Structure 1
Amino acid sequence: MTAQARRDDLIAAALDLFGTRAPELVTVDDIVARAEVSRPLFYRYFPSLRELQMQALRTVTDGLVDRLATLEEGPPEERLRAAVRGLVDVAAHYREGYVALLRSGSVIATSETDAAIDEVRNRAVELILEALAIPEPSPLVLLTLRCWTAVVEGALLSWLQEGTVPRETLDGWLVDQLTAMLAATDAQLAKKP
């Protein structure tokens, strides 16, 4: 097995465990048992448990950011629907890691948070602003988009854990949520003198 393949196996074992426990509760012994390797082999690839935790969560973050970066061309609503489908795809692919990533971050990205998931949240907000051609959003529009990313995360977390809503319904519903939230924001902004 190549060095990269072994690293990937250890990361996969960690992500699998993170799906059932918070990352800080997973030990080196848990990971080596899941990956069926020795402790010395673990330390050959990762200098510390913290380094493995960060690499595992970065794997999920990179997958989400990469998916957001490859938005389709077309009208804003189609692009947004494609982006939401992409997020659902990545969350489903990295199910355990996505759950762990959300557990490790703040509830919502603000200008002062720096959790790994915030990179994804901030990129999602940037892409929506870009798709809607809003170069200088008002604070209320930014707040709306940040809140919507929290709605998306909560919905994906529930969907991954409970699976009670059909996938096709989830995609459209999330986009409809954003449309409704932006309409409410527009109405509020129109009231300003």
Structure 2
Amino acid sequence: MSPQARRDDLIRAALDLFGSRAPELVTVDDIVTRAEVSRPLFYRYFSSLRDLQVEALRTVTDGLIDGLAGLEEGPPETRLRAAVRGLIDVADHYRAGYIALLRSGSVIATSETDAAIDEVRNRAVALILDALGVSEPSPLLSLTLRCWTAVVEGALLSWLQERTIPREALDTWLVDQLTAMLTTTAAHDQSGTFT
């Protein structure tokens, strides 16, 4: 196995374990047992457990950003639905890591993981603005989009843990919420930037 493949295998083992318990409860021994490697091999690739935790969570955020990158062509609503569907797919694929990333109070939260989460949020806002054809959003539009990304995060977190609504209804519901929020914002936005 190549060094990168071994590193990726350790990250996958950590993400798998996050599915059954909180990341702060996963130990190096748990990870090496799951990956079927030795402790010395673990430390060849990661300086500490925290280093692996951050890398595992970064894998999730990179996946989210990549999932946002492939917007379909077409009208804004079609593009937004595709983006939300992509987010749901990636969050579901990295379910445990996504939950660990967003769970408030996690001891894994660091300035690096906070920056990675902000990068996903900023990318989501930029893609929505692009889909809407807006290059310089008003403060109210920016606030609307940031609030909506918080709604998406909360909804995905709940959906991944509870699965109380069908998956196919989730993206429609989230995009309909954004549409309603944008309609309200347009009615209140005096800047003329967004109509």
TM-score range, shorter chain: 0.7 to 0.9
Q: Which residue of 2 aligns with 1:110?
A: none
Deviations 1:109-165 (A, max 9, x none): xxxx94311111100000111111111111111111011111111111111111111
- Normalising by structure 1, we get a TM-score of 0.87
Is residue 2:101 matched to residue 1:101? Answer: yes
How many Å apart are 1:104 and its aligned residue? 6.6
- Normalising by structure 2, we get a TM-score of 0.87
| Identical counterparts, % of pairs | 81
Q: Distance in 1 between matches of 2:141 and 2:39?
A: 49
- 2:138/2:191 contact within 8 Å kept: no
The aligned runs of 1:90-169 (5 Å cut-off) are 90-103=90-103, 114-169=114-169
- 2:68/2:83 contact within 8 Å kept: yes
The aligned runs of 1:14-53 (5 Å cut-off) are 14-53=14-53
Q: Distance in 2 between matches of 1:105 and 1:97?
A: 15
Structure 2 unaligned residues grouped into runs of 5+: 107-112
Distance change >3 Å, CA 79–CA 191, structure 1 → 2: closer
Deviations 1:71-123 (A, max 9, x none): 111111100000001011111111111111212799xxxxxx94311111100
Q: Which residue of 1 aligns with 2:8?
A: 8
Q: Distance in 2 between matches of 1:120 and 1:187?
A: 28
How many Å apart are 1:20 and its aligned residue? 4.1
Q: Give the aligned CA root-mean-square deviation in angstroms.
A: 2.2
Structure 1 unaligned residues grouped into runs of 5+: 107-112
- 1:104/1:115 contact within 8 Å kept: no
Distance change >3 Å, CA 65–CA 104, structure 1 → 2: farther
